[in-house]
Structure 1
């Protein structure tokens, strides 16, 4: 109770000097950007991991003739290979639908048969699979997606690094805004600060008053900015999970995909940035007093 009563007093008049919405509004805007950057970094990392673990092990086999006997023979050979975890023939209707953006209506076109296989290990060499298949099924062509997956993973890692750079820049700008607000508060309450300092108040006490006030303002703005970012993040998460057909289930899954621990850490981190910046700014200002 004594500690609560001590903090409830405002001998420096900081509630009046630092009462505007400018600082919380600016911090809210930066927190929104920080939330987007954090979610982007984690999303890029998840995509890179998914591509490397999943798509890297996916291989397709094209057969020049879509004959049932040739398809069955190829499936028998592939399923007998130790490197292959799964092999299945692609439905011709699905193949036609995938080719529709490039070929339009594929009716009457001689389409090859396509077999989708998944390797047991993404590091397995698809060339060996193709050589063994070609010995039994002449004309079979194996296409691996490893090169494209590597490029996509490199792109995802670049986006992740860019997101962290943006996060660092946002933190730096937030610290600069808090420093400007602190100097404005010192200028507004200069007489009170000098009187209190002249009466023997320690620098830690005065700096702590400013730091607590500005830290709370920064945390409040960060909370508002993080809450404002949630709908946009949920929308992006829903677009990243198009495999859920039911709209209501997709919305629930999108909210569940958000990086809640990282988002919950934004307001406390904003408080720490505001607190530390105000402490450093006030202590440096007090050292210049006679």
Structure 2
């Protein structure tokens, strides 16, 4: 189309939101606040980090109990059992296919274990205790204990499998609860992002409608919202993850005796390297992806309602 002098008239420019990276044509810096949303996401990330660490800690305790105490038994002989009776008992135990190692407990070690209750010089003779290491977690600890008692007459057998099985069930339950809490936190974080994006749409409704009428595509508008929401969520998740690190290190130090270690004397000696870094490191990226996807879905659903 040309004017009276033959010069082509200018056509209205179609907004290209993706190329104006340095600008904010939708005013999202005001519509999506950089204070409230990151703070809420930081709290969610802190809870998510705690849930991840709790799930991993419960899994480690389960593996340790299943492979350690659950696969151990003790056989007690009377204090007057002679060397010949002890040798026959060891031979009978080592011949059993479930037993990988049978070793009598040193009397000095036994005295040290009983010292808090019996004092330095026990008034009674200490029994002979044989420590057994099993090939694996017994399916029926009571039946195995009866077989061992029959193989070593006059001996009493103590199986750790019963109470360890209960502890393993408790640890697995805690792991399931931690994973459920992680899923709940992710759902709440998505809901928070969706509410923030809807509030931003309501605040910039007229500007969005005008740009949409001028030719801006749904992908352009949703991309702007998703980019803004993704950055805010990533910043909040990074802050929450950093806050969780010293908390998790302190918990790991408290749990060190349960894993065969010793508590640290100072904060610098906390088990920082034992933290689940492989799970904590991608947490901000995963949160950003969740925020980006939530913003995309929310904005596109709203844009489909426009005429």
Number of aligned residue pairs: give it.
286
Partner residue of 1:85? 100
Q: Secondary structure at the match of 2:271?
A: helix
Unaligned runs of 5+ in 2: 1-16
Q: Structure 1 pair 190/250, CA: closer, same or farther in 2 (3 Å)?
A: closer
Partner residue of 1:227? 242
Partner residue of 2:178? 163
- Equivalent residues in 2 for 1:167-182 (5 A)? 167-182=182-197
Shift of 1:86: 1.9
Partner residue of 1:54? 68
Shift of 1:93: 5.2
Name the larger-Rg structure: 2
Partner residue of 1:40? 54
Partner residue of 1:259? 276
- Equivalent residues in 2 for 1:73-112 (5 A)? 73-92=88-107, 94-95=109-110, 98=113, 103=117, 105=119, 107-109=122-124, 111-112=126-127
Partner residue of 2:228? 213
Q: Does structure 1 residue 271 correspond to structure 2 residue 285?
A: no
Q: TM-score scaled by structure 1?
A: 0.85
Query: Would you say the 8 A contact 1:218–1:271 is kept in 2?
Result: yes
Query: Would you say the 8 A contact 2:223–2:296 is kept in 1?
Result: yes
Supply the RMSD in Å over aligned alpha carbons: 3.0
Q: TM-score scaled by structure 2?
A: 0.81
Shift of 1:289: 2.4
Q: Secondary structure at the match of 2:181?
A: helix
Q: Which structure has more helix as a fraction of its residues?
A: 1
Looking at structure 2, the residues matched to 254 and 153 of structure 1 have their Cα atoms a distance apart, in angstroms, of 24
Query: Would you say the 8 A contact 1:207–1:282 is kept in 2?
Result: yes
Unaligned runs of 5+ in 1: none
Q: Which moved more, 1:218-227 or 1:276-285?
A: 276-285
Shift of 1:110: 5.0
Query: Would you say the 8 A contact 2:52–2:179 is kept in 1?
Result: yes
Query: Would you say the 8 A contact 1:24–1:220 is kept in 2?
Result: yes
Partner residue of 1:115? 130
Shift of 1:179: 1.1
Q: Which moved more, 1:207-216 or 1:17-26?
A: 17-26
Q: Secondary structure at the match of 1:9?
A: coil
Looking at structure 1, the residues matched to 272 and 198 of structure 2 have their Cα atoms a distance apart, in angstroms, of 40
Deviations 1:137-191 (A, max 9, x none): 4311122222222211111111111011101110111011111111121122222
Partner residue of 2:13? none
Looking at structure 2, the residues matched to 140 and 130 of structure 1 have their Cα atoms a distance apart, in angstroms, of 10
Query: Would you say the 8 A contact 2:249–2:270 is kept in 1?
Result: no
Q: Secondary structure at the match of 1:8?
A: coil
